[in-house]
Structure 1
Amino acid sequence: MFELSILMMERVGLMILMAFMLVNIPYFKQLLLDRQSFKARLSLVFIFGFFAIISNFTGIEITKNTILPANFLTSISNHAAIANTRTLVITVAGLVGGPIVGAIVGLVAGFHRLLQGNIAAFFYVPSSILIGALTGYLGSKLKKRQHAFVSTVDATIIAAVMEMIQMLFILVFSDSFASGFTLIRFIGLPMILLNSVGTFTFMSMLSITLQQEEQAKAVQTHDVLELAAQTLPYFREGLHQESCRKVASIIQRYTKVSAISITDTHQILAHVGMGCDHHIPEIEVITELSKRVLKTGQLTIARSKAEVGCSHPDCPLQAAIVIPLFSKKQIVGTLKMYFDNPDDLTHVEEQLAEGLALIFSTQIELGEAEVQSKLLKEAEIKSLQAQVNPHFFFNAINTISALMRKDANKARELLLQLSKYFRGNLQGAIATTIGVKQELDQVKAYLSLEQARFPNRYHVVFDVEPEALAYSLPPYAIQVLVENTIKHGFKNRKEDNQVYVQVHLEEGQLMIDVYDNGEGIPEERLQLLGKQVVDSEKGTGTALDNLARRIHTLYGEAGQFFIENNVEGGSHVALTLPLAIKE
C-alpha cells in the first residue's frame, strides 16, 4: 500500500502540474468566467476529457495485489485493475462545468478505460457518468455566488464521496465479492485520500485564479470609471487634435500601455507614447489595420509588427488593439492601444478595450448632442437678433406704415407676414428639425417683407417636388441660403437679380439647391465657406458655417453642404440630406 501511495502521489502531482499550466493560459481563465455558455462548456469537455485520457494512460496496473511496472498503459490484461486519477479529473470537471460537462467527461473517461482492456470493467462507464453528473449537481447547489466554485473543503469531501462510490461499483461488479473486497483493501485508502487531496489542490488553484480575475476586473472597473470621468469633458468638445491629445494622455496613464493613438476617419489626431516620432498628428490613416476597422466597424487585434502595419523600420510597436468609435451608429474614428511586447496584450486588455469603446462612443455622442444644442441655440439667437434688431424691425414697420396710406390691404398682408415670420422663428428655435413646408412658408414670409422694401429687385422662383413636403430638414436651412444670396450675391445691383430654389428627391435623399445669377464668390472665400466663420461686410459671417456644422452633427457623413460658382455666372449652394419623415 505504501508503494502504491507513492506512485499515486506522482500521478496526482502530474495532474496538479498540468492544472498549474492550464490556469496560466488566458483562454482558460476566460472559460472559467464564461463557463455557463455552450461554447465554454464544449471547450471544458475537451480539456477535461483530455486530462481523463492522460489519467488512464498514466494509471498503475495491479494484478492480485501486485503492482506491475509500466510508465504508459495503452492496454492491460483481462484480470488486471488500474489505480489512477480518473475520478479526480471527472470530479473537477463536474465542479467546474456542471452536471452536463461532468457526465460527458465521465463518459469519455469510462469508455476509454474500457478500451484499455478487461471487458469485465464495463461498469466504469456508468459509474464515471454518475460521478460526473452527481458532482456537477452538488457543485451547483453548494456554491454561494454566481461565478464562484464550491469551497475547497466541500470539494474535498465531494471528491472522497465520489471515490467511495467508485469503490462500491468495484465491489458490486467484481468477479466475486472476495476479489472485489481484496482489491478495495489494497487500493481504496490511497485513491480516496490522494484523489481528495488532489481535488483540493486543483480546485484551490482554480478558485485563486478566478478570484484574481474578478479582483482584476474590479480594479479595472474602478480605473475605467475614473478614466471615463476624466475624458468626458474632452470628448464633449468633439474629435479634434487638442482634445484627443489630452484624452490619449489620460488613457495611457490609466492603462499603462506603450502608446495610445486616436484618429478620425481620415487622419491621426493624437499619438502619445512610443512611436510618437513617426506616428504624427495630421498624417493620413494609411495602415491596412486602421482602414479595415474603419470599414468593418469591428474591434481588431494585431499580435505582430507585420499585422500592426507600420512602415517605419525602427517602430517599437509590436501589437495593437484597434477600437472603432461610433456616434449615432456611424464610425467617427478609432482608438488604438499599442504594445511593445505582444505578451502584454492579454484577454484583460481586450475586455478593457471593448468597454472603453462603448464608453467613449457614448461620450462622443453626448458631446455631439451638446454641440447640436449649442448650434441650434446660436442659430436661434442669430436669427432672432437679425430679425428683431431695430434696423430690420423699423424698416419693416416703416414699409407697412407707408403702404397703409396707399394700399391698406397690402399693408395688412405684410403685417400678417411679419407676424408669421416671427412666429416661425420662435417655432424653429425649439426644434431640431422641421417640415419642408414650414421652412418654405418661413422663407416666403421673409421674402414678402424684403420685396415690399425693394419692389422688383429680386425675382425668386420655387421649384418644389410635392413628395419632398413629407420630409424634414434643420430649421433655417433654406432661409439661410436664400438670405445669404440676397445679402451677398448681388452687391448693389438693383435689377435682373434671379434666385432659383429647387427642392426635390433624388436617390433616396432630400436635395436642396439654391442658384443665383449674381457676381459669384471670390475663390479664396469659396474654399472656406461652410468650413469656418468667414468675415462679412454685412452680418456676422457665421450663418453658412453654423448651417454646415448643424448638418454634419445631425446626419454625419450622410449630410453634405456644397457651394460652387456657376460657369455662366453666379453661385450654387446645395444641401444633401437623408430622408427623415417630419415629426
Structure 2
Amino acid sequence: MLVLAMIERLGIIVTVAFLLTRLPFFRRLFDSQSKIDNKQRILLVIVFGCFGIIGTYTGIIVNPIEDSMDRWTRVLNDDEAIANSRVLGVVVAGLLGGWRIGVGAGLIAGIHRMTLGGFTGIACGVATIIAGILAVIISKKQKKNRIISPQAAFIVGASAEAVQMLIILGVARPFERSVALVEEIGLPMILANGIGTALFVLIIKSVIQEEERMGAVQSQKALRIANLTLTHMRKGLTPVSAAEVCAILYKEIPSLAVAITDRKKILSHIGSGLDHHGAGEEIRTEATRYVIESGQGVTVGKDSIQCMDPDCMLQAAVIAPLKRKDQTIGTLKVYFSSERAISPIMLELINGLTTLLSHQLEIADGEKHRELARESEIRMLQAQVSPHFLFNALNTIVSLIRTNPDHARKLLISLSAFFRQNLAGTTRKVSTLSEEIDHVKSYLSIEEARFYDRLDVLYEIEDAALSASVPPLTLQPLVENAVKHGLKAKSEEGRLIVRAFRDRDRIRIEVEDNGEGIEKTRIESLLESAVTSEKGTGIGLYNLNERLIKIIGEQSKLTIQSAEKKGTIVSFSVPYPNEEFAKGVM
C-alpha cells in the first residue's frame, strides 16, 4: 500500500523535471562549454531546495505505533514520521550541479525537515544533507559522462535513502520506534526514491537528446545549404547569384517565399507573391531599410511587410542582414503565413544562414582580389619578356645602320611589328599556337641579321595543333633562349626546330637546338629562380615556367632535356581539346 502511494507521488516529480528543463539557466548544467555564475548557482540551490521541500510536503505521515498513515504532511507529533521523496531533489542537485548546489539544496531541505518535528526530525535533516554530499561524490566519478545514466541515478537515489534509514536507526529515539518505522517505510522509500531519481534523470536526458538531434538536423541542413550556395555566392551579390541562392533556400526552408535584396532593390524573389514582389523593384518597406542601416535582423508581421495586395499570403517575415566586412550590403527575407509559424529554431536557422552567406560573400571578395593580384602578376611577368629581347635587337640594328642602312630600316619595321604584337600579347589572356608561331617568325627575321646563313629554322607543326590555345608570349622566349644561349657560339650549321604535335589528350610544344647544351646541375636552377646571366637578363625561362603553372597548371610546366655539346629540347604541353582553358582565362 505504501509503495503504491509513494509511486503515485512520482507524477509530481515528472512535472517538476519537465518544468526545469524549460529554464535556460538550468540547461547550462548539461553544457560543458557553459559556466554558471554565482547568481545562477544560488538560484539553482533555491530551486532544488524547494523541490526537496515539495517532496517533504507531498509525503505520507506514518505513525509506527498506531500503524496509521496520513496522505498530506503537516506539523508532526513526537511519535510521527514522514515517508517522502525529499532526498530525490537533493540527490539530483548533487548529481547535476556539483557540491555547492548539492550541499546547498540539502541544507535548505534538511533544515526545513527539522522544523516539522517528529522523533526522526534531526535524523532526517542530517540524512538529507549527507545525501547531497553522497551524490556529489558519485557525480565526480562520472566525469566522462555529461549526464549520469538512469541506472546509475537509480542506484544513487536508492543508496541515499538507504543511508537515511541507517541514520534514523542510529540517531532517532526510542530505538524500538525507529526499528518499527524503518521496517514499515524503509523498502518503499528506497524503491520510490531510486525510481524517482532515475525517472528525473531520464526525462532530462530525453529532452537534451531530442534537442541535440534537432540541432544535428539543422546543422546538417545548414552544411548542405552552404555546399549548394557556395558556388553561386563566389560570384558576389548579383541578380543571377541571388536567384540561384533564393531557389536553393526556398527548397530547403519550409516557407512561403524567399527574397534577397541589395541596399536599394530586390535582386530576386522566389515563391508566393512573385506577381507583386518581383525582382528589380525598389525596396519599399521601412523594416528592410532599418535592417540595412542598423545591421540588426528583425521579425515582422503583416503591417510591416506593407503589401498593398489584400490577397497576399505573405503575412510575416524574418529579415536578416547580409554583411561583408561588417558593412551591410543587402538582406535575406524569408516569408511565412503568420508570425506563429516562425519558431525559435527556424529563427536561429535563418540567422545562421545569413552569417554563412555573409562569410561566403567575404570569401568571394577575397578571391576577386586574389584573382586581380594573380592577373597583375602575370601581366608583369609578360612585360618582362620585352626588355629581354629589346637589348639584342637594338644592338643588331645599331651595327647595321652604317654597313647596310636599308636592311637596318627593314629590321626597324620588323621590330615595330614585333613589339606591336608583343604589346597586344600583354593585354590578351589567351592566344593560339598559330599566332605564337607568327610572333616567332617576326622575331627570327631580326635574329637572322646576326646569324646570316649560320641559322637553319625548321617548323614541324601538326595542323591540329595550330588552333590550340596557349598563354600569350610563351613560344618566343623559348626560341630566344635557344638562339641566344644555345646557338650563339655555333660557327656554322646552327639548327633550330619548332615542333607541335598531339600527345594523347594534350598538345606538346618543343623548341630544339643543336647548340652548346646545359649542364645537368644548372637545369633545375633555371626553373626554380631567376638566375644571373652574363648574356642577358636571366629571367626568361623562370618567368615563362611561372606563367604556365599559374595560368594552366602544374602539368604544363616546362621540361628541359639537354646534353653538353649536343643541344637542348625545352618543351611544355597544354590540354587538348582545351576550350575549357580558353574560356577559363577569357
Q: Which bin holds the TM-score, normalised by the shorter protein?
A: 0.5 to 0.7
Letter in 2 for 1:253: K
Within 5 A, what are the aligned runs for 1:31-180?
Answer: 31=28, 33-34=30-31, 36-38=34-36, 44-45=44-45, 47-64=47-64, 66-71=67-72, 73=73, 75-77=75-77, 79-116=79-116, 121-122=121-122, 124-142=124-142, 144-145=144-145, 148-180=146-178
* Stretches of structure 2 lacking an aligned partner (at least 5 in a row): 399-425, 427-586
Shift of 1:366: 0.5
Deviation at 1:165, TM superposition (A): 2.1
Q: Report if aligned partners of 2:316, 2:336 keep a CA contact under 8 Å in 1.
A: yes
Partner of 1:362: 359
Tell me, yes or no, if structure 1 residue 212 matches structure 2 residue 226: no
Residue equivalent to 1:523:
none
Equivalent residue letter for 1:223: K
Amino acid at match of 1:194: A
Check the 8 A contact 1:83/1:187 in 2, yes or no.
yes
Deviation at 1:284, TM superposition (A): 4.7
- The reply to whether residue 335 of structure 1 matches residue 336 of structure 2 is no
Deviation at 1:231, TM superposition (A): 0.5
Write the mapping of 1:46-445 to structure 2, written as runs, cut at 5 A: 47-64=47-64, 66-71=67-72, 73=73, 75-77=75-77, 79-116=79-116, 121-122=121-122, 124-142=124-142, 144-145=144-145, 148-276=146-274, 278-285=276-283, 287=285, 289-300=287-298, 302=299, 305=301, 309-312=304-307, 316=313, 320-340=317-337, 342=339, 345-375=342-372
Shift of 1:250: 1.5
Contact 1:287 1:310 in 2 (8 A): yes
Structure 1 residues 241 and 10: alpha-carbon distance in aligned structure 2, compared to 1, 3 A threshold? same
Partner residue, 2:436: none
Q: Is the 8 A contact 1:99 1:134 kept in 2?
A: no
**Structure 1 residue 133 displacement after superposition:** 3.8
Query: What is the CA distance between 1:279 and its match in structure 2?
Result: 4.4
Distance 1:94 1:319 in 2: 45
Letter in 2 for 1:173: V
Could you say if the C-alpha distance between residues 238 and 43 of structure 1 is closer, same or farther in structure 2, counting changes exceeding 3 Å?
A: farther
Q: Please state how far the C-alpha of 1:385 moved relative to its aligned partner.
A: 11
The separation in 2 between residues aligned to 1:369 and 1:208, in whole angstroms, is: 44
Maintained 8 Å contact 2:64/2:184: no
Q: Deviations over 1:235-287 (max 9, x none)?
A: 11112232122212212323334443333334443333455555444455555
The C-alpha deviation readout for 1:466-502, integer Å capped at 9, x for no partner, is xxxxxxxxxxxxxxxxxxxxxxxxxxxxxxxxxxxxx
The aligned amino acid for 2:228 is Q
Report matched runs for 1:466-545 at 5 Å.
none
Q: Deviations over 1:172-216 (max 9, x none)?
A: 332333332322222111111011112222222222222222233
In the alignment, the residues of structure 2 paired with residue 347 and residue 163 of structure 1 have an alpha-carbon distance, to the nearest angstrom, of: 41
User: What's the secondary structure of 1:37's corresponding residue?
Assistant: coil
SS of match in other structure, 1:38: coil
**Secondary structure of 1:325's partner?**
strand
Aligned residues: CA RMSD = 4.3
In the aligned structure 2, how far is the partner of 1:260 from the partner of 1:38?
39
Find the aligned partners of 2:256 and 2:192 in 1 and give their Cα distance. Answer: 47
What is the match of residue 7 of structure 2?
A: 9
Q: Is the 8 A contact 1:143 1:151 kept in 2?
A: no
Q: 1:70 to 1:201 in 2, by over 3 A?
A: closer
1:278 & 1:47 partners in 2: Cα distance? 54
Structure 2 residue matching 1:246: 3-state secondary structure: helix
Indicate conservation of the 8 Å contact 1:259/1:274, yes or no.
yes
Q: CA deviation at 1:134?
A: 3.0
Matching of residues 449-460 of structure 1 within 5 Å: none
How big is the shift at 1:334? 3.0
- State the distance in 2 between where 1:351 and 1:359 align: 12
Residue of structure 1 equivalent to 2:469: none
Relative distance call for 1:331 and 1:161 in structure 2 (3 A) is: same
Q: Decide whether the 8 Å contact of 1:156 with 1:196 is kept in 2.
A: yes
Over residues 483-533 of structure 1, what are the superposed CA-to-partner deviations in whole Å (9 max), with x where a residue is unaligned? xxxxxxxxxxxxxxxxxxxxxxxxxxxxxxxxxxxxxxxxxxxxxxxxxxx
Q: Give the structure 2 partner of residue 477 of structure 1.
A: none
For structure 1, the residue ranges without an aligned partner over 5 or more in a row are 402-425, 427-583
Shift of 1:227: 1.3
Q: Partners in 2 of 1:287 and 1:50 — Cα distance?
A: 50
- Please say which structure displays the higher CA radius of gyration: 2
CA distance in structure 1 between the partners assigned to 2:273 and 2:247 by the alignment: 14
SS at match of 1:239: coil
Q: 1:124 to 1:161 in 2, by over 3 A?
A: same
Which deviations, in whole Å up to 9, do the C-alpha atoms of 1:270-312 show, x marking residues without a partner?
3334555554444555555544544443455x3x737x83234
The SS at the match of 2:270 is strand
Q: Measured at CA, do residues 382 and 276 of structure 1 come closer, stay the same or move farther in structure 2, by a change above 3 Å?
A: farther
Give the match for residue 532 of structure 1: none
- TM-score, with length taken from structure 2: 0.56
Contact 1:144-1:150 at 8 Å conserved across structures:
no
Q: Name whichever of 54-63 and 136-145 sits farther off.
A: 136-145
Is the 8 Å Cα contact of residues 265 and 333 (structure 1) preserved in structure 2?
A: yes
What is the rounded CA distance, in whole Å, between the counterparts of 1:273 and 1:42 in structure 2? 50
Contact map agreement 1:317 1:340 (CA 8 A) in 2 = yes
The number of equivalent residue pairs is 389
Change (3 A) 1:371 1:56: same
Contact 1:95/1:136, CA 8 A, preserved across alignment: yes
